[in-house]
Amino acid sequence: MSLLSCEMDVRAGGKYRLVFDMNGTVLEVFGKYIEVTPHSRLVWTNEEGEEGGAITTVTFEEKGGQTLLVKHDLYPSKAALDGELASGATEGIPVQLEQLAELLATLG
């Protein structure tokens, strides 16, 4: 997967739009930020779904010199959740977090 375009206005009310190339298929992910609390919490909408997508909350907490990241998705219905699981979209999250950990290790 390659990132083709990234637009992010990271503030409450700001919008984001990411465009990916997945082996020749273009995928757009977009929504708006509901809450931005520096160093501790982000909340955003995922608006690309037909029903309106999930609301994602990510929190960051220091624990023993490391950062605990917790991601929570709230779907508008069971059908929306089932569709997300069936698409395989959640399977990439562990890989993404591993890549983030590797990147952060090079910055520290």
The per-residue pLDDT for 89 is: 66
- What gap in Å lies between CA 62 and CA 68, rounded to an integer? 6
Residue boundaries of the structural domains of the chain: 2-107
pLDDT one-digit tens code per residue, 41-77: 999 999 876 666 899 999 999 999 888 999 999 998 8
How many Cβ atoms are within 10 Å of 9's Cβ, its own excluded?
12
Determine the length of the chain: 108
Q: What is the mean pLDDT of residues 19-27?
A: 91
Q: Where are the alpha helices (DSSP H) in the chain?
A: 78-87, 93-107
Any bridge partners for residue 20, and if so which? 3, 27
Ranked by mean pLDDT, which of 52-61, 77-86, 91-100 comes out on top?
52-61
Q: Torsion angle of alpha carbons 82, 86, 91, 92, nearest 10°?
A: -110
The reply to whether the predicted model has a pTM over 0.85 is no
Q: What CATH superfamily classification does 2-107 receive?
A: START domain (3.30.530.20)
